[in-house]
Amino acid sequence: MRLSCERFAARLASVSLDECLGIGLQATDGRSVAGLPIVAREYPPVEARPPRGRVLLFGGIHGDELSSVSIVFKWMGILNRFHSGLFHWRIVPALNPDGLLQRPGSRMNANGVDLNRNFPCPDWLAATRDYWERRTGKNPRRYPGPAALSEPESRWLAEQIERFQPDVIVSVHAPHSVVDFDGPPHPPRKLGSLELKLLGTYPGSLGRYAGFFQEIPVVTIELESATSMPSLREQKRIWIDLVRWLKERLPEAPSSPAQTLAAPGG
Ligand SMILES: [Zn+2]
């Protein structure tokens, strides 16, 4: 884990090596195109307290949105101190390490694919091609890839959704300064100073795949800036509001236990 933390600390002004090492990140079986590990941290149920639900939270699906990675470190720092077993969290700070570690950072992965257009939907090829060609003018920053789940990073996330069966997915982006939501109602109206604005989904996006088709609520947090962090106060307010909304959303302990985080080769 030291090597991953050295990379994060060298890339992210807001995350120090000691802070990263103190988080307790775990190796997973996820690898990027360039072979970098996709690391995670699990906050499992605590004894004698069935969690109210499972929450999958990740940042950095777009590698040039640095704040979306840094803020996840800050929230893991909060959970490291206060995890009480209320929810079972699985947290992935940087889903697209290849894009993050490029300089300048790249929205896409090392194959030039926008991972947030690479998730399956009915008639994926025609739908994503049509959108990419006609609506974006073949913008390379929106390239959906050659096939649904052609990329190891999006494939790994889809596997996590299948294995972990989250009750809620939280995806962190920047810089549109809103909260977006896909899936069954009701969305949070406001997280910190970020207000709800329903942007709709794109063919191949996670919101359409998980929110619309699998009916898992997907909260998309769009921070104000991709390169500057929100104030400390705002970082905490977003977190507190998110947890408050999760409590309303998941009022009681449900469901079957999830499989644990798979280790490399396991
Ligand atoms: Zn983004």
- Read off the pTM: 0.95
pLDDT band at 266 (very low <50, low <70, confident <90, very high): very low
Angstrom distance (rounded) from CA 189 to CA 157 = 26
> What percentage of the chain has pLDDT greater than the value 90?
92
pLDDT band at 255 (very low <50, low <70, confident <90, very high): low
Centroid of ligand 1 to alpha carbon of 107 (angstroms) = 7
Write out pLDDT tens, residues 63-117: 999 999 999 999 999 999 999 999 999 999 999 999 999 999 999 999 999 999 9
Q: Is the pLDDT of residue 244 over 50?
A: yes
pLDDT of res. 231: 98
Centroid of ligand 1 to alpha carbon of 131 (angstroms) = 17
Angstrom distance (rounded) from CA 136 to CA 140 = 9
Centroid of ligand 1 to alpha carbon of 60 (angstroms) = 8
Centroid of ligand 1 to alpha carbon of 201 (angstroms) = 13
pLDDT of res. 261: 72
Centroid of ligand 1 to alpha carbon of 222 (angstroms) = 8
pLDDT of res. 262: 64
Average pLDDT over residues 217-234: 98
Q: Which burial class, exposed, middle or buried, applies to 45 when counting CB atoms under 10 A from its CB (0-12, 13-18, 19+)?
A: middle
Centroid of ligand 1 to alpha carbon of 65 (angstroms) = 6
Residue 228 DSSP SS3: coil
Write out pLDDT tens, residues 131-145: 999 999 999 999 999
Centroid of ligand 1 to alpha carbon of 253 (angstroms) = 32
| CATH fold group of domain 2-249 | Aminopeptidase (3.40.630)
